[in-house]
Amino acid sequence: MKKRLLLIRHAQSQANKEGRVQGWLDSELSELGHRHARLISRRIAGDFRVSQIFCSPLIRARQTASYLSELLELPLTLNDDLKEQDLGPLSGLTKHEIRQRYPHLEDAWSNNRPRPAMAGLESDDQFSIRVQRAINSILDSVSPDSTTAVFAHGGTLNQMLKNWLKITQGGRLTFTFNNASLTIVDVYATYVRLVLLNDTHHLGEAYAQRD
């Protein structure tokens, strides 16, 4: 028996549109983000029998998930551990501003190396533990042979896959996720199967019209 998880990155936020780093910054969806949120929700509602919806409490994830919640008449279960990595003083800054203020961090970021330790930043180890706690909580809450939707963030989904695949070396980002993308993971008792990664075909022409 398996537990199927539909992993959805939130749709485009206003901060995404402006090129700002978010972390725990609460940024609402852009107009395009709302369009994409409707499209991903229609796909999921049409293709899968979802029994539960879990969601990061950050507003860009909640707004994305709300469309599916309304379509399926299912409540959102908020889980703080699904939040993006806390970037502390970097939140809200553009990459240009980070380059000016914290050049050593921007260099690591641009070259996909682990971020140097900095006051206010959630460490990669802390983030990994928190994300694993979210995974365990969700899997403990759902029934075998169920399909569950999980709305979260690019960094969170990256860390989920790294934890499942036991990837501990390499760059900060092993997997990247587009806004409103769908990734599917089947979790069995002794192994995990990655079924689909970062799929956006449901966005169609709307994806080509990104701001």
Element (H, E) at 52: strand 52-55
Quick one: angle between helices 154-165 and 124-141, nearest 10? Answer: 80
Of the residues 10, 36, 153, 202, only one is catalytic, namely 10
* Cβ count within 10 A of residue 23: 23
Q: Which residues of 58-71 are buried (b: 16+ CB within 10 A; e: fewer)?
A: bbbbbbbbbbbbee
Residue 73 appears among annotated catalytic residues? no
Of the residues 36, 84, 153, 202, only one is catalytic, namely 84
C-alpha 41/C-alpha 47 separation (Å) is: 10
> Would you give the DSSP letter of residue 202?
G
Q: Which residues of 87-98 are buried (b: 16+ CB within 10 A; e: fewer)?
A: beebbebeeeeb
Quick one: angle between helices 59-72 and 31-47, nearest 10? Answer: 40
Total residue length of the chain = 211
Residue 96 appears among annotated catalytic residues? no
* First vs last C-alpha separation in the chain: 42
Strands 147-152 and 52-55: parallel
Active-site residue set: 10, 84
